[in-house]
């Protein structure tokens, strides 16, 4: 008999991820703060939409949470009259796939253990395009045997499942990955602006970077597609990126690590957030670099 997976949070990422689970043959129970979104998912994709979080927990073997913040995850688990703990069966696995705060995730894992379940953190990288194809990179932290049990669910959504260590380590790794990704984006855009002032074509520069040692994810998948095209619609918001970088900086503080370069990257994103707003696409941080340089990138 197919396992039943509860999925809480049917947003930009959650919808295609839950869709992959349906396609993989799991029975999927969905829940979202917007009831109409859960109903639409059932109508368009399949699965079921229980009337409450409690009912979802009562009928699910594993539960995925894909939510904006750790605080919201905590409320879904235990706050109010309707929560997952109210219906969660002993032995239930909570797969926390949000971009969470590692220290909060560790506390949530203790609360889940106290009611007879197990929590692992399994944040993702790859954005909406790879969520749609089930090719996300998943960073899994927690008990090894529990990750083994969750592997069929994780593998339905991701092309690679990378074990990072104890619970909370996946969320730390996700934030640090996005810190590195953002740094690569910003230095690359700055280099394009310098080159354009010198007389180089930014599109040609991007091709050269991708054939040389300056290559990174942004040069490959963002510069031509979203910046030089002026589309700025990669599908990941500035607000979410700023949150992830704040988490990375918090981990730096908690580990007493000097972070001068990270601090500059974080400062740039905070400035871009202030300028363009939390709903702006994260690739619009290139516009901040352009404002500072006094020129706009153009693809010849």
- Which residues are annotated as catalytic? 174
- Residue 84 CA to residue 221 CA, distance in Å, equals 38
Give the HSE-up count for residue 129: Cα atoms under 13 Å, Cβ half-sphere: 7
Rg of the chain over all Cα atoms, to the nearest angstrom? 20
- What is the sign of the dihedral through the CA atoms of 55, 59, 62 and 64? negative
Alpha carbon distance, N-terminus to C-terminus of the chain: 57
Report which of 164, 126, 122 is spatially closest to residue 13, judged by C-alpha positions.
126
- Residue 75 CA to residue 60 CA, distance in Å, equals 19
Q: Could you tell me the two tokens for 6? A: 């509860």
- Residue 144 CA to residue 276 CA, distance in Å, equals 42
How do 124-125 and 136-141 pair as beta strands?
antiparallel
Q: Could you tell me the two tokens for 71? A: 């605080």
- Residue 157 CA to residue 24 CA, distance in Å, equals 9
Token pair 């700025």 is found at 232
- Residue 141 CA to residue 133 CA, distance in Å, equals 23
């Amino acid at each position: 008999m197919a396992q039943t997976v509860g999925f809480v949070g049917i947003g930009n990422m959650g919808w295609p991820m839950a869709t992959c689970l349906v396609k993989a043959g799991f029975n999927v129970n969905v829940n979202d703060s917007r009831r109409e979104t859960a109903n639409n998912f059932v109508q368009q994709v399949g699965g079921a939409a229980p009337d409450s979080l409690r009912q979802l927990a009562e009928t699910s073997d594993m539960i995925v949470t894909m939510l904006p913040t750790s605080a919201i995850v905590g409320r879904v688990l235990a706050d109010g009259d309707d929560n997952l703990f109210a219906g969660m069966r002993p032995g239930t696995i909570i797969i926390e796939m949000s971009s969470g705060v590692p220290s909060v995730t560790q506390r949530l894992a203790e609360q889940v253990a106290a009611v007879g379940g197990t929590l692992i953190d399994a944040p993702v990288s790859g954005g909406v395009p790879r969520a749609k194809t089930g090719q996300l990179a998943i960073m899994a932290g927690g008990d090894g045997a529990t990750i083994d049990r969750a592997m069929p669910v994780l593998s339905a959504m991701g092309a690679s499942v990378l074990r990072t260590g104890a619970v909370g380590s996946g969320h730390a790794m996700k934030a640090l990955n996005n810190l590195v990704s953002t740094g690569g984006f910003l230095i690359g855009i700055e280099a394009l602006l310098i080159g354009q002032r010198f007389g180089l074509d930014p599109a040609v520069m991007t091709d050269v970077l991708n054939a040389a040692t300056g290559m990174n994810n942004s040069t490959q998948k963002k510069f031509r597609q979203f910046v030089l095209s002026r589309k700025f619609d990669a599908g990941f918001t500035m607000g979410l990126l700023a949150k992830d970088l704040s988490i990375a900086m918090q981990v730096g503080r908690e580990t007493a690590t000097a972070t001068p370069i990270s601090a500059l990257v974080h400062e740039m994103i905070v400035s871009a957030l202030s300028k363009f707003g939390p709903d702006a696409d994260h690739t619009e941080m290139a516009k901040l670099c352009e404002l500072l340089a006094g020129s706009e990138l153009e693809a010849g």
